[in-house]
Amino acid sequence: MTPFCFIVATVPIGLYWLALAWLHSRPQPFAVDGRRDFIALALALSGVFFIGPGSVTAPLSALTTWGPTVWLLSGLLYFLVVVLLASQQRPRIVVYNATRDELRAPLARVALSLDDEARWAGASLNLPNLGVQFYVDSAAWGRVATLVGLDAERSSQGWARLEKELRRELADLEPTRRRGWLAFAALGWGALVAAGVVLAWRQEAVANAFSFYLSV
């Protein structure tokens, strides 16, 4: 891997890890729409795509016609494809800095406040009057829980209300401090420092590669 490719692939991932460190360092859990979470992950991997499939599949005719502008168009196409894929996913709400067991009590309070007919069935929760049905999943690592939709026909308004009220409920929880964010911070800063060292060490090679992509 060339120094330029290493920097392009490493910097977005490093920034993503720092964002995860910030989320896990918060005193209360934080809920985010699953589609936005997917888009953030895809943007973190955009550098890997650029030096991998994006570089290999770049059309020569477009490079000849449009020059360096083709990279901007490719980036826009990548983003639009990511947004399209995100829109086709089941509705989800990702809750950082919380486990499935810790999320059950505040989630029950939110559900009853939105729908007095809300009912649990194991790890699943049904809010019939809100048009929302989901199960609570947890990540194999870290403190991340996910509300995954089960309804075939999603209720966008219902999910938006659920996310809003859940975020408000989580903000009122008793603050707690944990050290899990340190691992993400170390990974993020490690990636950015490594990219900075490579840039300082191989500055000329990076500049030449950058000029090459701009002059294609």
pLDDT tens-digit map of 165-188: 999 998 888 777 777 788 889 999
CA distances from 140 to 106, 116, 137, 144 (A): 22, 32, 10, 9
| pLDDT above 90 as % of the chain | 23
**Does residue 15 have a pLDDT over 90?**
yes
What gap in Å lies between CA 160 and CA 158, rounded to an integer? 5
Predicted local distance difference test score (pLDDT) of residue 140: 62
**Does residue 47 have a pLDDT over 80?**
yes
Per-residue pLDDT tens digits for 107-155: 989 988 888 888 888 888 888 888 888 998 887 677 889 999 887 556 7
Confidence of residue 61 (pLDDT cuts 50, 70, 90): low
Predicted local distance difference test score (pLDDT) of residue 93: 92
All domains of the chain in start order, with CATH? 1-89+177-216 (no CATH), 90-174 (3.30.310.80)
Go through 134-169 and write b for each residue having 16 or more CB atoms within 10 A of its CB, e for each that does not: bbbebeeeebbbbbbbebeebbeebbebbbebbbeb
